[in-house]
Structure 1
Amino acid sequence: MRFGICILPQVDWPEAAALWRGAEEYGFDHAWTYDHLSWRDLAGERWHATVPTLTAAAMVTERIRLGTFVASPNYRHPVPFAKDIATVDQISGGRMLLGIGSGGTGFDAFVLGDEQLSPRERFDRFAEFTEALDVLLRFEDPAAAASEAPGISFDGEWYRAVNARMVGAPAQSPRMPLHIAADGPKAMALAVRVGEGWVTTAGSVDDTEEWWAYAGVLSRRFEDACAAAGRDAAEMPRTLLLDSSARYSLTSVGAFEDAVGRAAELGFTDVVAHWPREHGIYAGDRAVLDEVASRLPALR
């Protein structure tokens, strides 16, 4: 089992630097932040931009992998986003994990004045966004700035590009890993075909036992998707976000250890919890995080 921590981008720098350094010192394998312009009930609170936050985090850490949990096409075009995130990957020394999803239907979906999309339209846009990132992030620009070699062009239903250029050779080969959030069959098929990892929140069911049962259903569904595509499910990380508004894994050490054990039984290879906040959602005691961190080696 590998362990991740999600740090909401609410704390001002340089105080936030202590959280990202702390995640590495605690021994977490990966640290993530949400990719939203604002989020749910926290919309009226401080909320920093994702790419600058991860850039700063890369500068104050050395080992821990860093990621978006998760980026979406709600307010992004694949060309500038690919260049931004590839630059962060270079700064970090090749430690980026790119979590991507279709995007919710909250504030981020309409902040640019877009019309509401149907579920099919949201998936089609997501598939095009993901496939564009897959190509863009693999692209190795010629070293010569004056080179006339073509860049990347595409003309899709949702996105267009004409000779787009990237930053140079990718920091990871052939590109940074894509960890794709997917619950439905079409999205899972996309994750298996294009991605290097699968991410799920297992829905928003408040009943704990129902939630775990559904997490198991999704894990088996992912195995079936891998089998249908001729891909070994054991080769792809399966990441489960342990927390929801009704359930927080770091309420106690026992709660966290129980969640880790249940996730492992369902075939998940990675789990992610949220850094404790002082109040509201994910409110918790830093002492619990201290104790959990001390037990990570034994839980692996």
Structure 2
Amino acid sequence: MRYGICILPEHSWVQAEPLWRDAEERGFDHAWTYDHLTWAGLPDSPWHSTMVTLGLAGSVTQRIGLGTFVASPNFRHPVTFMRDVLTVDDVSRGRLLLGLGAGGDLDAEILGHRLTRGQRSRRFREFVPLLDRVLREDHVDHSGEFFGARDARNRPGCVQQPRVPFVVAANGPRAMALAARYGDGWMTTGPVGQVDPDEHDTARVEQWWRGIEEISRRYTEIETETQRDGTRADRPADRYLSLDASGVPALRSAGFFAEQVGRAHELGFTDVVVHRPRESDPYRAPLAVLDQIDLPAAPGPSGRNLES
């Protein structure tokens, strides 16, 4: 099992820098931050640039993987985003992880765009393959429903070869198919929106885990089919679980954290991600719990093939 922590981009860099250093010093394998223009969970909070934050984090750490949690086509174009990706991958010396998801409505609406659920799904299915191409190939041309590219250059290319790892967030079958085909990792939040918020914590967590079991089973079926039909011939993707997605912070106690990690391991997840405890909701938990959990020493994220 590998362990990740998500640090929201709500702090000035003077405040944030020690948090990223601390994540590495505590032994986390990867650290993440949200990729939004504004996040609905903290609409009035200060909010900073994701890729600038990750670049700065890469300059003050040595080992830990650094990821987007998650980048989406709501305000990202594959060609322009590719430039940010190449730069952060370079600054971090090959430690960037690209969490990718379809995204919700808020960021797109800020830019004056309003898409149906079907349009968002089709846009994501165009976004991921095109981002894959522009990170692997030089001189890319593309004309699609949502994106275009004309002789897009990708010099100097990624430090990580053949490209930066994709960790594709997916709960539904179409996005899971993308994860199985293009993802070095698959990430899930489970049945978010289907857990009864009026239930007490224990019932909510149990309801969420039942959903995780079903989603994990479905992903296994889709991944197996993808490998069988030859769409993807390499190793199965790593499996990432956002442990706080039940609505009950996994770090509310060391014992609860250990229990949640154990259940994730039993279902075949290779990686878990928790949020750094905050003093208020969301993700309110005692900061002292970080001192009470025992993370095994680890060399960093797996699956990275760096240029020599």
Q: Is the 8 A contact 1:153 1:164 kept in 2?
A: yes
> What SS is found at the alignment partner of 1:5?
strand
> How many pairs align?
285
> What SS is found at the alignment partner of 1:296?
coil
Q: CA RMSD in A?
A: 1.7
Higher mean displacement: 267-276 or 203-212: 203-212
2:59 is equivalent to residue 50 of structure 1: no
**What is aligned with 2:189?**
201
* Structure 1 residue 296: Cα displacement: 1.3
* Structure 1 residue 158: Cα displacement: 0.5
CA distance in 2, matches of 1:158, 1:47: 27
Alignment of 1:167-206 (within 5 A): 167-204=155-192, 205=195, 206=197
Structure 1 runs of 4+ aligned residues shifted over 6 Å read none
Give the structure-2-normalised TM-score. Answer: 0.89
* Structure 1 residue 108: Cα displacement: 0.8
**What is aligned with 1:139?**
137
Q: Is the 8 A contact 2:205 2:246 kept in 1?
A: no
Letter of the 1:131 counterpart: P
**What is aligned with 2:124?**
126
**What is aligned with 1:16?**
16
Letter of the 1:36 counterpart: H
CA distance in 2, matches of 1:298, 1:79: 37
**What is aligned with 1:223?**
220
**What is aligned with 1:271?**
272
CA pair 27-298 structure 1, distance change in 2 beyond 3 A: closer
CA deviation string 1:11-54 (max 9, x = no partner) = 11122110000000000000000001111131101111101100
> What SS is found at the alignment partner of 1:176?
coil
CA distance in 2, matches of 1:31, 1:261: 20
* Structure 1 residue 118: Cα displacement: 2.1
CA distance in 2, matches of 1:252, 1:81: 38
2:276 is equivalent to residue 289 of structure 1: no
CA deviation string 1:60-85 (max 9, x = no partner) = 00100000010000111111101111
Alignment of 1:75-86 (within 5 A): 75-86=75-86
* Structure 1 residue 267: Cα displacement: 1.1
2:244 is equivalent to residue 238 of structure 1: no
> What SS is found at the alignment partner of 1:93?
coil
> What SS is found at the alignment partner of 1:3?
strand
Q: Is the 8 A contact 1:200 1:241 kept in 2?
A: yes
Q: Is the 8 A contact 2:86 2:157 kept in 1?
A: no
Percent identity between matched residues is 51
